[in-house]
Amino acid sequence: MDTELVEQFKDAACRKLEQDISQIARCAALLSDEQAWWRPNEHCNSVANLALHLAGNIRQWIVAGLGGEAFARDRPAEFAARGPQPLAPIVAELLRVVERARSIISNMDAASLSRRYGVQGYDVSGLQAIFHVAEHISFHSGQIVHITKTIRDVDLSLYDAQGRRRTPAGGKPW
């Protein structure tokens, strides 16, 4: 595998995780603990459930699956939780998991990206596992944005009317 391509892929994956976790944290800051556990019906997930689920998924696929760290996941519990635990520690744990995953991804080489791993009953390459996690967090961060917009009636667009990327005070993109 081309070294430059490996570095570009790892950088893009880490940037995507950072962008999505920033958007999730942005939404979490707008919600009360009660709002974080709101679900329109029993077939939908709350923001808190999605944060628990993402932490479990990223731990299983990257931290344990690629990084080799011990982890026993209880996936059904991620969706069964009903609160009223505070959202802040859940999001803080998700942030820690994402940072650990970014570290693992950053330290992978071409051989580890090509290597086969058994994760959640699947036989995948390191590259496939990273791609799965990147698309998975994007999927659920979109749901979190939608739920936050629904509850709070706020504009969470990352772009202004001219299509320029918005940057919050402090200069770091969400």
- Kindly report, residue by residue over 126-156, the tens digit of the pLDDT: 999 999 999 999 999 999 999 999 999 998 8
Whether the predicted pLDDT of 171 surpasses 70: no
**CA 84 distance to own-chain centroid:** 22
Is 42 inside any structural domain? yes
On the question of pLDDT at 164 being above 70, the answer is: no
Q: What is the pLDDT of residues 35-46, one digit of tens each?
A: 999 999 999 999
pLDDT reading at 119 higher than 50: yes
Give tens-digit pLDDT for 17-57: 999 999 999 999 999 999 999 999 999 999 999 999 999 99
Q: What is the mean pLDDT of residues 145-169?
A: 79
Q: Which two tokens stand for residue 168?
A: 């919050």
Say whether pLDDT at 169 is over 70: no
pLDDT attached to residue 78: 96
Is the residue at 87 inside a domain? Answer: yes
Residue 174 banded pLDDT, cuts 50, 70, 90: very low
The dihedral through the CA atoms of 114, 130, 18, 72 has a sign that is: negative
Distance CA 47, CA 31 (A): 9
Residue 91, domain CATH = 1.20.120.450
DSSP letters for 70-126? -----HHHHHH----S-HHHHHHHHHHHHHHHHHHHHT--HHHHHSEEEETTEEEEH
Give 14-52 as a 3 state SS string. HHHHHHHHHHHHHHHHHCCHHHHCCCCCCCCCCHHHHHH
Domain count, the chain: 1
In this structure, is residue 58 part of a structural domain?
A: yes
In a domain, 77, yes or no: yes
Tens of pLDDT, residue by residue over 86-101, are 999 999 999 999 999 9
The pLDDT, as a whole number, for residue 6 is 96
Confidence bin at 157 (pLDDT 50/70/90): confident
Q: Can you tell me the mean pLDDT for 107-128? A: 97
Give the structural domain span for 78.
3-152
- The H or E element containing residue 64 is none
Model pLDDT, residue 116:
98
